[in-house]
């Protein structure tokens, strides 16, 4: 009898956090197509990825230049719109017209 009581208590304690977690999720952020907090996390991750590509000497000059241009375009987009979603979309979809050097670019050998 005591064993069944302890077992029911343990199962009840294990189930309780999941019930509260489900309730908390229902009152949390509304996930929409353009949710700034989600976009901010994605933007940050992608920006770090592009920064690693840009900083690594293992990547060729063209890959590093593309990463540099993507970062620049995303920052400009954020400065114009103040939206992480717009900046993230720009970072993911930007393709430079050419890779010629321009003022302010890093100088690769």
Structural contact between residues 58 and 71, judged by C-beta atoms closer than 8 angstroms: no
CA–CA separation, 99 and 105 (whole Å)? 10
Has this prediction a pTM greater than 0.75? Answer: no
What pLDDT tens digit does each residue of the chain (109 aa) get? 555 554 555 565 555 554 444 444 455 555 566 688 899 999 999 999 999 999 998 998 889 989 999 999 999 999 999 999 999 999 999 888 877 777 767 766 5
Identify the H or E element spanning 24. Answer: helix 2-26
Identify the H or E element spanning 70. Answer: helix 61-81
């Amino acid at each position: 009898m005591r064993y069944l009581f302890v077992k029911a208590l343990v199962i009840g304690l294990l189930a309780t956090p999941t019930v509260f977690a489900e309730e908390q999720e229902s009152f949390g952020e509304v996930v929409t197509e353009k949710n700034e907090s989600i976009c901010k996390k994605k933007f940050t991750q992608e920006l770090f990825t592009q920064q690693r590509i840009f900083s690594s000497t293992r990547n060729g000059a063209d890959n590093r230049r593309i990463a540099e241009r993507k970062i620049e375009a995303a920052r400009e987009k954020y400065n114009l719109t103040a939206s992480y979603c717009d900046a993230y979309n720009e970072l993911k979809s930007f393709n430079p017209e050419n890779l010629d050097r321009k003022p302010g670019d890093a100088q690769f050998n």
